[in-house]
């Protein structure tokens, strides 16, 4: 594992914070995170999936409603179809385990129905956000657990590109939505992943009140850091700020996700 000092250097460059004396192995593991998109084909050991879900279920959950579920996909043909639906991402095919994380309001609806209760609160945006946040917290716990076992992971937001087809592929009922996927497997040492730089803390950390003082200078420094990273990874050189601006330019850059509101309605969510 990369040392804390080296991880901070990779993550922030010259803008890295001072390494505190109290930093421990957990901090080191978190700072060592990198997205892995190249996997060995070997299946995961027996019990790994269940341990990852145990870690996921140990995450915080709003009002203890546990409004999420997950579909574990290991069948090669189904992974291939999901890879195509998610933007033809090869690592979805390669990973021995692909988890699809769900905001699941249907279970709460079924429970309420069993008591002849109306469950009208599920018809509001807050309930969908609750499920999405619960699932995200759970998934990140699973990622941390997987990395502690020497496994690699990468999130797949492209699972939202064609959500109705994804729902049909994995048999989702109304009021269950596939938020994102997660590839899990043993990293291929022949195609190693690197720690990717993040924005300087002065851009994301606000003390007492939100402030953009010094933001432009910090972003310029980050563009230079990302250019160095891209060069080291033999990637096309393009300023991060330019990429970010292009990504939010308009609906044409959203790969179909600009239609999610209407799609959610068709999938049974009212979002009042």
Q: What is the pLDDT of residues 101-126, one digit of tens each?
A: 999 999 999 999 999 999 999 999 99
Region 83-95 average pLDDT = 97
Least confident of 12-21, 72-81, 107-116, 124-133: 12-21
168-196 pLDDT, tens digit per residue, is 999 999 999 999 999 999 999 999 999 99
Domain 36-194: which CATH number of 3.40.50.150, 3.40.109.10, 3.30.300.30, 3.90.550.10: 3.40.109.10
Query: Could you tell me where the beta strands, DSSP code E, fall in the chain?
Result: 68-73, 97-104, 152-156, 176-185
- pLDDT at residue 142, as a whole number: 98
Predicted local distance difference test score (pLDDT) of residue 264: 97
Percent of the chain with pLDDT over 90: 96
Percent share of the chain, pLDDT over 70 = 100
CA dihedral 140, 205, 14, 24 (to 10 degrees): -50
Model confidence at 1, in pLDDT bands (50, 70, 90)? confident
> What digits encode the pLDDT tens for the residues 46-59?
999 999 999 999 99
Query: CA-based Rg of the chain, rounded to a whole angstrom?
Result: 20
Cβ atoms of residues 169 and 81 within 8 Å? yes
Domain ranges in the chain are: 1-32, 36-194, 199-257
Judged against a pLDDT cut of 80, whether residue 272 lies above it is answered with yes
Cα separation, 188 vs 31, in Å, equals 20
């Amino acid at each position: 594992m990369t040392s804390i000092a080296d991880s901070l250097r990779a993550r922030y460059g010259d803008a890295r914070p001072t390494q505190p004396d109290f930093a421990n192995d957990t901090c080191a593991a978190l700072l060592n995170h990198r997205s892995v998109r190249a996997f060995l084909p070997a299946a995961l050991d027996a019990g790994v999936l269940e341990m990852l879900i145990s870690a996921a279920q140990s995450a915080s959950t709003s009002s203890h409603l546990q409004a999420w579920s997950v579909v574990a996909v290991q069948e090669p043909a189904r992974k291939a179809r999901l890879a195509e639906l998610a933007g033809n991402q090869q690592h979805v095919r390669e990973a021995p385990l692909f988890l699809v994380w769900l905001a699941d309001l249907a279970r709460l609806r079924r429970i309420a129905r069993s008591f002849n209760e109306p469950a009208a609160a599920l018809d509001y945006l807050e309930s969908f956000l609750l499920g999405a946040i619960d699932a995200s917290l759970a998934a990140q716990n699973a990622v941390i657990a997987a990395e502690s076992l020497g496994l690699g992971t990468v999130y797949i937001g492209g699972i939202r590109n064609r959500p109705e087809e994804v729902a049909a592929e994995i048999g989702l009922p109304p009021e269950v939505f596939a938020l994102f996927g997660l590839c899990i497997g043993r990293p291929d040492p022949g195609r190693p992943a690197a720690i990717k730089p993040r924005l300087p803390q002065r851009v994301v950390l606000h003390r007492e009140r939100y402030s953009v003082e010094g933001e432009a200078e910090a972003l310029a420094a980050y563009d230079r850091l990302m250019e160095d990273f891209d060069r080291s990874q033999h990637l096309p050189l393009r300023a991060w700020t330019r990429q970010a601006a292009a990504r939010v330019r308009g609906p044409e850059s959203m790969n179909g996700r600009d239609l999610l509101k209407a799609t959610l309605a068709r999938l049974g969510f009212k979002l009042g």
